[in-house]
Amino acid sequence: MSDTIHIRPVKQQDFDAWLPLWDAYNAFYGRSGETALPREITQLTWGRFFDVYEPMHAMVAERGDQIVGIVHFLYHRHTTLAGPICYLQDLYTLEAERGKGVGRALIEAVYARAKADGSQRVYWQTHETNHTAMRLYDTVADKSGFVVYRKQV
């Protein structure tokens, strides 16, 4: 297997390789078993990546002929910036690939895409217990100091 990591936009034919990483990402955040993400949401999300009217995008990391990481991001307006802001919503790498540059390559690819698309900022959040990811995040971005609040409505 090649050591080279190749980042590219997701393609329709990637679904079968993308799905296990998507399911593992959701399981990591407790969305499995009885609390699993409904397949309809997975199908809706997948479709949005290919809808030109949706601000949602996906890229994959390949090593050799295997997809080893995924990243999803979207653009939205912001009250203090003229251009769009980029929210990196989901990032996942195969466990065996962690610490080998896949996550960093995916984040840097989002940075490049966001800049090319006129965005001035990329941001994301992670769970406070995700220490492995935070070791990487601390080297590629600045902590904003903001705390996230949310309520189901």
33-70: per-residue pLDDT in tens? Answer: 878 889 999 999 999 999 999 999 999 999 999 999 99
Predicted model pTM: 0.94
Average pLDDT, the chain: 94
**For position 84, what pLDDT does the model report?**
95
pLDDT at 1 over 70: no
- Residue 98 has φ and ψ, to the nearest 5°, of -65, 140
Q: In what helix (H) or strand (E) does residue 47 lie, and over which residues does it extend?
A: helix 39-48
| Residue 105, SS3 per DSSP | helix
Average pLDDT over residues 127-140: 93
For range 116-139, the mean pLDDT: 94
CA neighbours closer than 13 Å in the CB half-sphere of residue 38? 3
pLDDT in tens, 63-110: 999 999 999 999 999 999 999 999 999 999 999 999 999 999 999 999
Q: Taking the CA atoms of the chain, what radius of gyration do you get in angstroms?
A: 16
Domains of the chain with CATH codes:
5-140 (3.40.630.30)
Q: Is the dihedral of CA 52, 56, 57, 58 positive or negative?
A: negative
- Contacting residues for 45 by C-beta, under 8 A, at least 6 apart: 22, 56, 72
pLDDT of residue 2: 67
Task: Kindly tell me if the per-residue pLDDT of 123 is higher than 60.
Answer: yes
Which secondary structure element, helix H or strand E, spans residue 133, and what is its range?
helix 131-140
Q: Residue 16's pLDDT is what? A: 97
Which of 144, 26, 116, 152 lies closest to 108, judged by CA? Answer: 116
6: closest CA among 57, 59, 58, 62?
62
User: What pLDDT was estimated at residue 37?
Assistant: 87
